[in-house]
A and B are shown apart, each in its own frame.
Chain A
Amino acid sequence: MSGYLILAILVLAFVVIFQIAKASEYVSVLNGREKTFKQNNRINGFLFIAFLVLGLAAAWWCNDMYFKKTLLAQPAASDHGEKIDFMMMLTIGVTGVVFLLTQILLFWFAFKYQYSDKRKAYFFAHDNRLELLWTVVPAIFLTVLVGFGMFYWFKITGDAPKDSQIVEITGKQFNWMMRYPGKDKVLGRKNYRLTDASSGNALGIDWQDGASHDDIEASEMHLVVNKPVQLVIGAQDVIHDVGLVHFRLKMDAVPGIPTTLWFTPKYTTEQMKKITGNKDFVYEISCDQVCGTGHYSMRGVIIVETQEEYDSWLGSKKAQYVIVKEAAAPVANDSTATVKAPLTSQPLAQLK
């Protein structure tokens, strides 16, 4: 019912506007085009300056309402994130000045130089000095921004520290799977043709590789605060993206092409609850590359904790190989019978 009401109102509004529009056309013929033109010109000139003033006020108001809901209102939870936040403020500063300057000039000029019988347009076709000025000045500012950007970019994308913790994260429609390398600190080799979720090998791990025998699988990611971590990122079906908003980072997960990303978490989940004042705070992994109908629900959780908490969590987990063996043991005595031989071998997991 309300739908029809809205439709009726719309049609009515259309008719009213149309009638006004038509009437104004007649009025302008009867009053003389010249007079109507001047009147319209004054109205639009005024509207431009009003738009500028109200627009800036609205921008201020918007900022007042929403700044606190953005990530700028809370500290970045990783060392890389802090650099990115600094870059962000710098860029907002530089572009903000340019924005204000150019928008004010634009609407001020529109208002100030609106048509008048008394004014003659000033013939001004070019001026090399002015053009040089606004070639060189933006170029200088951009050089500064590129300079900072590149400095941080190479820091962030550079090699991970030697003592980094390694966690593998694999995306599939529509969830994330984690794997930890275990005591040997080496992830076991994978072969996608061995993937078989029903027999406990959802990641396609090649059990022939001894390094895989102590690998631990989990659905949550546990990280140690202040300890660098390197993520080894992969995907099984389509492209996903590991989005870590609180750390200000993201990296695509591409089938067939492993990627990596490293950072150092700065605050535990508990600390972030205090910092953000949100008792339900949780580090979330969002999928940031459209991956199908469940894209919006592809959520993962990261728990950042102290070394002790981490150790006790890890201690409570069993290696996936052991789980698979235990499940298979009652059926068959020959343990290798449940494990398919690799079709190809890939020395993928030897990450230092």
Chain B
Amino acid sequence: MSTETILHGHEVEEAVHSHEEHGQHDHHHEESFLTKYIFSQDHKMIAKQFLITGIIWAIIGGLFSVLFRLQLGYPDQSFPFLEDIFGKWAKGGRISNEFYYALVTMHGTILVFFVLTAGLSGTFANFLIPLQIGARDMASGFLNMLSYWFFFLASVIMFASLFIQTGPAAGGWTIYPPLSALGQASQGSKLGMDFWLISMAMFIVSSLLGGLNYISTILNLRTKGMSMTRMPLTMWAIFFTAVLGVLSFPVLLSGAVLLLFDRNLGTSFFLSEIVVKGEILPNEGGSAILFQHLFWFLGHPEVYIILLPAMGMVSEILSVNSRKPIFGYMAMVGSLFAITILAFLVWAHHMFVTGLNPFLGAFFVLLTLLIAVPSAIKVFNWLTTLWRGNIRFTPGMLFSIGFVSLFISGGLTGIFLGNSTLDIHLHDTYFVVAHFHIVMGVASFFGMFAGVYHWFPKMYSRYLNNTMAYIHFWVTLVGAYLIFWPMHYQGLAGLPRRYTDFSNWQSFNQFADMNRFISTVAMVVFVAQLLFVFNFFYSIFKGRKVKSQNPWGSNTLEWTTPVTPGHGNWPGELPEVHRGAYDYGKDGREFIPQVEPIGANESKH
């Protein structure tokens, strides 16, 4: 018996069956390669496009971090291969300062926007919304397609900026003017910055098209019986994410456009009284701080745009694999709502030391720390969901548990930074780096991985390899803590962010060994991610086939579609929903799908 038959032998029967089933519905629209894989309007294909583009960006963005960690971890060593690849940017095998700042900036931009916004909510909003609310597709398949292609355009422009002579943007991902407005002040503020701004403008268009689509689909296309309060928490999370994006991204767009004007048309929105390299500029009356307000009015909600979908998916996966209802469904929805509202009211906590009016600052402290309350509710509800469950450690579940751990660790350090008194000391130190990497970087990545492992069978009708998944999880979890836990100590020693070299400082030069350690672990973790990428692409073609329609024993609607759903998702009628998504372990039954009518003797919650 060949290995292929061992793995897939028993499934022939079922595969034929499901093919027949949707064959009846599909044959009337023949799709060409172009309309099926490239300009597809099927939400599932668009989701995969977002995911794979996101994966490619994640490799690039992750690689950049490995490169600048080389500089931080081994400042005295030279790596000739770097010069072979990057030429003048790494003369003598050492990363030049310009290159370092370009790498840091692009690492942030790529991972925040292209991976954790587009790659995460683009993928799962597109994939899950129609499947989980019982719709044939998004409200507008065409806008949905445009949303991907604007993202693609943004990607191309950003990618192109890596290759121009003066390099990509290099003023940090927050691109504060005047640094980002003045070509004289930095190499990275020349053409690369225009590319950055235009790319972001395209990105914002993409995210608005997507977001409006998500909102209208969730509000209008729910199947019969799917009231808002019967929706899985993933749907609520994605809904609030979309609302956040739609209301805050335009503000960043305005900031980006004004900055483009300042750069190219001689306006003075953000510029005033500047002498740069001995040159006296004519601009007066602008405010550099205004940009920071515009930036963080998106920038802070952006953190939740990244985090909320992860929270939603984790809630769903924790519940499914604990075989228990999510604890406090309404409290979970309420806390998502509270976080969404508060997300708009805390942006100035990034600006406590800009000379912000201290009285104004006080309100931002209060509102910022208020976010800890809904966050605490979520954490305790997740813990209670695990309590007395019957837990299956699927790879998705492992990443969900890892997410909760990281969310706690990173969330608690937010209480330090949100308190302006402490922020005076900790602002822009490695404490901040550790904080946001754990809570929004790694935690969201864990949410994303959880989602990929959990819904991969629905996406590709095959499973990811479990062994590789376990290795991936444990290396990543341990590695994440090994990288970012010690960084808090650097922060408590006051080490400023974005320094290429600490050796000239009396106050900051005591961490050479720690930096080497962190850099080494970072490389190992990066390689572990490549293992995931390999697993992902390998399993698309060679993974173990999915035999059952509902492999996780899950209640939600996506598992009532055929193993390989066609365009339109359900052959025949759309399913009707009779209950919430979390009837696990009820009345002695392991799970009760949403499509099952309430029984006569069924107990109330």
Contacts and interface: CB of A to CB of B under 8 A. Distances in A.
Interface of A: 3, 10, 14, 17-18, 20-22, 24-26, 28-30, 37, 40-41, 43-45, 47-48, 51, 55, 58-59, 62-63, 66-67, 69-72, 80-81, 83-84, 87-88, 91, 94-95, 98-99, 102-103, 105-107, 109-110, 113-116, 119-127, 130-131, 134-135, 138-139, 142, 145-146, 148-150, 152-154, 156-158, 172-173, 192-193, 195, 197, 204, 236-239, 241, 243, 245-246, 248-252, 254-257, 259-260, 278, 280-282, 284, 286-297, 299
Contact of B505 (A63, A145, A249, A299): A299
Contacts of A284: 505-507
A84 B373 contact: no
A106 B380 CA distance: 9
Interface string B464-505: 011110110010011001100110010011101111111011
A286 to B, nearest CB: 5
Interface string B581-596: 0101111101000000
B165 interface: no
B392 A252 contact: no
A288 B419 contact: no
Interface string B167-204: 00011100011110010011100000000000000000
Given A18-B468, A66-B486, A124-B384, A257 B511 contact: no
B60 interface: no
Contacts, number: 377
B289 to A, nearest CB: 6
A295 B498 contact: yes
A254 B353 contact: no
Given A195-B280, A243-B428, 10 more contacts: A14-B530, A113-B391, A120-B585, A126-B327, A142-B370, A257-B272, A280-B506, A284-B505, A292-B179, A293-B101
B562 to A, nearest CB: 22
18 contacts: A14-B530, A18-B534, A45-B391, A95-B413, A106-B404, A110-B393, A121-B390, A123-B325, A146-B365, A150-B362, A150-B421, A158-B358, A238-B185, A250-B428, A251-B353, A292-B101, A293-B187, A296-B496
A203 B73 CA distance: 38
A62 to B, nearest CB: 6
B377 A131 contact: yes
B425 interface: yes
Contacts of B530: 14
B506 A115 contact: no
Given A25-B467, A149-B420, A292-B185, A44 B388 contact: no
Contacts of A156: 421, 424
Contact of B424 (A67, A126, A173, A249): A249
Contact of A95 (B186, B324, B415, B544): B415
Interface of B: 3, 6-7, 79, 81, 97-98, 101, 170-172, 176-179, 182, 185-187, 271-278, 280, 284, 286-289, 322-325, 327-331, 353-355, 358, 361-362, 365-366, 369-370, 372-373, 376-377, 379-381, 383-384, 386-393, 398, 401, 404-405, 408-409, 412-413, 415-416, 419-422, 424-425, 427-429, 465-468, 470-471, 474, 477-478, 481-482, 485-486, 489, 492-494, 496-502, 504-508, 510-511, 514, 527, 530-531, 534-535, 544, 582, 584-588, 590, 605
A91 to B, nearest CB: 5
Contact of B176 (A48, A106, A289): A289
Contacts of B485: 58-59, 62
Contacts of A103: 405, 408-409
B412 to A, nearest CB: 4
A21 B468 contact: yes
B422 A88 contact: yes
